[in-house]
Amino acid sequence: MTELLRRIRQTERDLEAALADWREAPKAARAKAVRFTKVVRAEQKKLRRNLLQHIRSIGLLYWLTAPVIYSMIIPLVMADLFTTIYQRICFPVYGVARVRRADYVVIDRHRLGYLNAIEKLNCVYCGYGNGVIAYVREVASRTEQFFCPIKHALPVPGAHSRYARFVDYGDAKAYRQKIAELRRTAGES
Q: Domain check: are 62 and 135 in the same one?
A: yes
For residues 126 and 57, the answer to whether their CB atoms sit within 8 Å is no
**What per-residue confidence (pLDDT) applies to 46?**
80
Mean of pLDDT over the chain: 88
116, 60: one domain: yes
pLDDT tens for each residue of 7-56: 888 888 888 778 777 766 666 555 556 677 788 778 878 888 888 888 88
pLDDT of residue 179: 93
Give the domain range for residue 142: 36-147
126 and 102 in a common domain: yes
Is the predicted pLDDT of residue 148 greater than 90, yes or no? yes
- Whether 169 maps to a domain, the answer reads no
Mean pLDDT confidence for 144-163: 93
This prediction has a pTM of: 0.78
SS3 (DSSP) at 150: strand
**pLDDT of 113 higher than 80:** yes
Domains of the chain: total: 2
Percentage of the chain beyond pLDDT 90 is 56
In this structure, is residue 172 part of a structural domain? no
- For residue 106, tell me if it sits in a domain: yes
- For the chain, what is the radius of gyration of the CA atoms? 21
Residues 60 and 142 reside in one and the same domain: yes
Q: Would you say residue 68 lies in a domain? A: yes
- Residue 59 confidence (pLDDT): 83
CA 173, distance to chain mean position in Å, is 33
How much is the average pLDDT of 43-72? 87
Q: Quickly list H helices, the chain.
A: 2-24, 27-31, 38-46, 51-57, 60-71, 73-94, 117-147, 172-184
Among 72, 53, 71, which residue's Cα sits nearest to residue 117?
Answer: 53
Is the pLDDT reported for residue 122 higher than 80?
yes
Give the model confidence (pLDDT) of 72-109 as tens digits: 999 999 999 999 999 999 999 999 999 999 999 999 88
The answer on 84 and 111 residing in a single domain is yes
User: Do residue 51 and residue 142 come from a single domain?
Assistant: yes
